[in-house]
Structure 1
């Protein structure tokens, strides 16, 4: 007999979003869809250890959730049309109909609709598509669970009241909306990949990126998935035994996830042109170098040149300056960094000051560099990053 706990976990990962998406399409009620899906999962936890895991766990869950929705709607005397639609659904054996796949894509685009605030898009994606408990989302956003519950309720209400379509855009509208969807997924990834982030969020972002590649195999979708895989491959090596952050050139590369790197490179072969694809190519240069000294910095600098033309933001200009500093020497890097900081947008950005410190140290001025590292540390809120910057300053003090 299959392990019921493992079967429930697998069914949640594979089927939850499908069930929620299908019930939202039919009932138009987000809360009802989520509640019925959760009740089906709870019943599976109770029944499967006793009755055994069904041959088609996803179909079993869909049937239970659909029946529960039918009961709720009937008791509430909701429109007969919706009841007829629910009653006419065939038993999902297997759950691979085109309509179900379309539902999941609809759900992604609705949760990531630009009419919602960016933070609401991320939270709604975590709750509705990924099934992350509201309490966990609240902790990640540094708010109470009740506050996050209200935010999620407001987002769902806005979708209903504003008439936000539960649909996938087409043609030029798809081209306009897709970058916003990818941006939400990448922000979700970074919330898990950051120094003190929640790793499960990064895992969910990768899972959703894989799903999006399956449903919408566009070149820039491949680029996002490749970028997430290549960056995430380094997670296990980012800290030493004491929990201190390690910069890239001090990481033990044998601890990198080489399976994720191989997958990322395979996915990257299908990407082209867009900002995520360019960032993935930069990540690939790091991932494929056998050691820090072998990193192809000239190639990285060229990719950043292309990226800066495509997205001329201050942070990309900062990263371009660092890349040129390693490719062509610290003087070249400092010159570009001066240009990037000229507008004032990076004046209080700690990573810009840390980059200036690193280039200054490599240019032979350790005293000034140490002072800059301390200045950057004073602007950092994340304790692990603050310690890393202060450690760099102490190292320079001893030189």
Structure 2
């Protein structure tokens, strides 16, 4: 087998199927990453969404026996929304982060990786491969960095010279010893804009993230949001782009290269009030194809309530009152009680007092008290 020729063919084929960047890395263990992951675990900075077994995260050979190399791919996604609908005083809108625009990126990248797999199997029938996107054991960022896709920025994203950090990453472990690509030198320099701009101080220092403070993570949690983050979430329904938006390397970066990634403005910047009462069926039909729907509608509805409180949208009070008295989920009822208080209409005092008499859930009662306190009661 002529590995050099195969690698060249694979690179050419990757362009044909819409892969914007491809790189190759050795499958040797990520020893430096292991030290960082152990430290993150000790500090309690992990989100809980990661693969819990650190050895699997750093040793490709545990995932694919006799692994020789890893193929890393990147697809650029849009950063600017064309024909964005406007938010008005009585028709407020929320926002899904750019990583949730268009079709679920997991599906898009898996499609490209499946095509690469088929290409390799056709030419080397005995080849062994294992592909993954985001939810796999390996760190996409560590693989991409080693494979020369980009450098690991202070904002904890891979930054590419061509597309900035607006790229989705995927990888394929293989038993073919492809020639490694040359890593890209870190170009962040002394810039700390992402660290300074992080709304919650989640970027502890360049390249180190406390996931539990990160708004992108917080928007995906299902319980009550801690008080100190409720106002900082703004109108974000899913994810957070702040550390990317302020990055100088992203200035002017906006790529519309893949039809599947084109956003529907009404879905990525939806009206907030209709989200409060959306049915499961309508939720799945409208938002199901987006990556931001993976945790279900409950976190999005909670975030929509917080966004209405952020705007102090008095027109939403009837819907919030209905939720307070009729929704079966304590997190949604309680968040609505807090939001009613935050909106600050004195007529809402009686609403919360009545709810306090009827409510039996302890956590919801605490939120009602918070709402009353906000109304100076």
TM-score (norm 2): 0.35
Identify the structure with the greater strand proportion.
2
Bigger radius of gyration among the two: 1
The two structures have a TM-score, normalised by structure 1, of 0.33
Q: Which structure has greater helix proportion?
A: 1
